[in-house]
Chains A and B, each alone.
Chain A
Amino acid sequence: MAVHYLLGNEAIAHGCREAAVDVACGYPGTPSSEVIDSLRMVPDRAYAAEWSVNEKVAFEEALAASWCGLRSICTMKHVGLNVAADPLMTSAYTGTKGGFVILSADDPYAHSSQNEQDSRCYARFARIPCLDPSTLQEAHDMVRDAFSLSEEFSLPVLFRPTTRICHSKSDVTLGDIRVSDRTALFEKDPRQYVVIPAHTRILHKKLNQKQQNLKKRLVEAGYNRFEIKGKTAVVCGGVAASYVREVIGKDVSLAIIGAYPIDEEWLGSFVRQHERVLVVEELAPVIEDIVLQVQGQARIFGKNSGHVPYEGELSPERVATYLTAAGIPASVHYEKPSEPAALPPRSPILCAGCMHRTTMYALKKVFRDGIFPSDIGCYTLGLQLGVVDTTICMGASITIASGMSLAGEKRDIVCTIGDSTFLHTGIQGLMNAVYNGANITVVILDNRITAMTGHQPNPTTGQTATGVQVPAVSLEAVCRACGATFVETADPNDLVTVTALLKEAKSRPGVKVIIARRACVISERRAKVVRVRFAVNHDLCIGCKACVKFGCPAIELHNGLALITDLCSGCGVCAQICPVGAIGREVKE
C-alpha cells in the first residue's frame, strides 16, 4: 500500500496491474489514451499491450483473450464504442470466461470530442454491468475489481470514467501489483461461441436471467449505497457525486449510484422516504429514469423537470444552484464571479512547421471552389484555414466525399484524412469509392503517428506500442490494392511539387490519391532533429502579410513588418511563400 499523486488514467492502469491483467488493447482517443500509454511503457511487463487499428479490432482481440480464459481490457473513447458496438451487443450473449473489461471514456462538454454520448446507455442496451466511478480512488478500485465481477457473471463489464476522472489527479492509495499465472486455453463450445439462431435464442434468455442477481450483487458490493438523514434527498452518480458531496447540506439524504443496472426495489425504498428528491448526473437521465419509475409520493427534480441540463458537464457551483432550485439546503453559497476579460482568443492551432498547414495551404490554392470533407485528427484544426467543410466521425472524409460525388455535386471534391484515421476506417471508403466510380481526390496526411491523442505509434510508424520495430505498412500499396490507379506521394513542404500533383489530380477523372508524407514536427523534436530557424530580412520585407496569413504561429507582425519568433521549427515553407524573397535561414552573427 502506497499513496501516489496520479492522473486518473494512471490510477486505472495500476488497478489493471493489481488485477493481474493479461491482455490490454485499445485505440487512442481523448480522454482514454493514457491507460494503454501507461501500461505499454512498463518495462518487463508480464502482460500483452497493443495499440490496435480501431476499437472493433481492439474489442474483439480482448474478447478472444477472455474466451481463452485470460483477463483482458480494451480501451477507447465513447465514440469508439460505436465502432465496437457490433461485437459489444453479441458478446453480452456469448458471455466471457476470463474477466473482460471494456473501458469507454465519456467526454461531457465534448472537451475533445465530436459528441456527448453517454456510454451507460450502451450498457443498458447490451444488458451488461456498467461501473461509473465518482473519484480517482474509486476508479482505481472499481477497475481492479471489475475483472472478478465479469468472471462471476460471465459478462463483459463496461467501465465508464469521464474526462474529469481520466484527466484529474488525486492522491490514490495503490495496492500491490500481481503477476498472472494464467495460460491461454480456448475450450471449444459452439453453443456458447457460435451464435447461429438456434444458439443465440438460448443465450439471449440466459442473459436476461442474469439481470436480477446482478442488480442485487451491485448493491451488496457497495457500489450503490445511500444514507438517510431527512426529508429531502439527492440521488447522484459518476463524478457529479463528488460535486454533490462538496456542496450538499448536512441534513440531506444522499444516494450514490456507482454501478448499473440499478436495483429498482432498493432505490425505491430510498426515494419513497423523501418529499423532495434531486437527481444529479451528467448527460443522459439513466438514474433519473429509474427514480421516476419508483418515485411514489416524492417530488422529483432533475432533467425531466427542467432543473438539470441533458448536456455539458456539471460542477460544484452548478450543483449548488440545482439544490437551491429544488428547495434542498446546500452547505455553501457562491457569489456570481466577475465576467472574464475580453481578450484576443487563444485557440488551439497547428504547430509551427506542421505539414498539415502546408498541404492545406496548397489545397486551398489549387481547389479554389472545392468542397473539403475532412476527418478526425490534428488536421481538423484546418477549419481555421478554410479547408475543412465536414467532419462527422472517424473515416467519414472519403465516404462523405464519394457520397457527394454520387449525389451529383459538380464542384471538385477533395477530402483529407490522416494516416491513423485512414487505417482505422478509411480503407473501406476508398475501396468503395473506386469500385463505384466516384470522382474525388483523396489526400492522405501521413505524418507517421497518431498525433492528436498524444503521439501513439500506428502501423505507418514502423514500431509497435511496446517499441518493437516492425515493417511499416505501405499506404501506396494499400491504396493501389483498393483499385486506385493515380496514387502519388510528395513531401508537402516542397510546395512546388505538391501543388503540381494537386493540379494533375484536379485534371483527371476518378479517384485520385495523394499521399502527403512528412513526420510530425513534435515526433521530430522528440527524435532530436534540429533545423535552422528562418528569419525575415527587414530590408527586403514589404509588409504584404502573405506569410502572416499562412497562419504559422511563429510568424508575427510588428510595426507592419513580419517577424519570426523562436517557435520556428525551420520547415522553410514561409520562405517559399514570400513574394520578394525576404525570408531565409537565420544567419547567426
Chain B
Amino acid sequence: MSFDVMIVGVGGQGTILTSNIIGEACVLEGIPVRGAETHGMAQRGGSVESQIRIGQEYGPLIVPGTADLLLSFDLMEAVRAFHWLKKGGKIFTSKDFITPTSVFSQDFPAPDESMLLGMLGLDYVALDTLCIAEQAGSTLTQNVVLLGAASPSLPLSGDSLREAIRKTVPQKTIDMNLKAFEMGREAGSSQISAP
C-alpha cells in the first residue's frame, strides 16, 4: 500500500514543483514513488492536479476515494478534489481561491469562502498561505508553505524534504523556500493543536 497524495490547484500555481520535491525526497529515502501530472492545454488556467504515490511500485493513478492526503493551493479546487480523499484523509489547503471566469461570463453561481469550507467537512487545515509566503520573502513560495504545513503528516522525514527542496528549487531561492517550509510547518502544527 502506498501513501497517496493529491495535489491540486489552478494551472500555473506550482503543483508540479511540489510533487517534484516529494518525489525527490522519496528517492533520497530509497522509497519507490509514482506520480501523474496534467500537461498541455489544461495548464492554461484550468483545474490541474498532480497525483503522487509514496511507496508505490506499480501505476501512477490514485483511485478516487482512497487518497490519504489532499494538498490544495486553491480552496475551490480543494472542494472539487474532495471526493478523491478516503474517509479520515487529511486536507491542507490555502484559504484563498481564484473565482473561475465561468462565474462572470456564464453567470455560474459562485460559492464564498465559508460555503467552500463547509463543503470540506470538519477536519481540514486552511492556511493564509499568501500572507505566510509574503513573510518568507515571496508569494511564489505558497506551495512550499503548504508542503511545510502538511509535512508532519507525510511518511517522509523533514530532513529529506528539506534536502529535496535544496535539490529542486532554483539556486537563488533555496534559503527563501526553506524558510517558507519552516513557517508552513509551524503554522500547520499550531492550527492542528488549536482548531
Contacts and interface: CB of A to CB of B under 8 A. Distances in A.
Nearest to B35: A169
A316 B11 CA distance: 26
Nearest to B43: A348
Contacts of B58: 135, 242-243, 245-246, 316
A77 to B, nearest CB: 10
B51 to A, nearest CB: 9
Contacts of B10: 346
B114 interface: no
Interface in B74-90: 76-77, 79-80, 82-84
A112 B11 CA distance: 15
B100 A345 contact: yes
Contacts of B44: 348-351, 378, 381, 452
Contacts of A556: 99, 104
A337 interface: yes
Contacts of A112: 39-42
B64 A317 contact: yes
B101 A337 contact: no
A306 interface: no
Interface string A118-135: 000000000000000001
A173 to B, nearest CB: 10
Dominant SS among interface residues on chain A: loop
Contact of A345 (B23, B27, B102): B102
Contact of A557 (B33, B41, B104): B104
Given A316-B63, A344-B109, A349-B46, A171 B40 contact: no
B105 interface: yes
Contacts of A235: none
B26 interface: yes
B24 interface: yes
Interface in A82-102: none
A555 B105 CA distance: 10
Contacts of A336: 65
Nearest to A550: B105
A316 B1 CA distance: 13
Given A30-B40, A344-B100, A346-B10, A5 B33 contact: yes
28 contacts: A5-B26, A5-B33, A167-B36, A168-B36, A169-B35, A169-B60, A170-B32, A171-B26, A171-B27, A316-B58, A316-B63, A336-B65, A337-B65, A338-B83, A340-B82, A341-B83, A345-B108, A346-B45, A346-B76, A346-B80, A348-B43, A348-B45, A349-B44, A349-B46, A384-B105, A548-B104, A553-B45, A553-B101
Given A168-B34, A344-B110, 19 more contacts: A5-B33, A30-B41, A112-B39, A167-B38, A170-B34, A170-B35, A246-B58, A317-B64, A335-B65, A340-B80, A341-B79, A344-B100, A344-B109, A346-B77, A346-B100, A347-B46, A351-B44, A452-B44, A553-B45
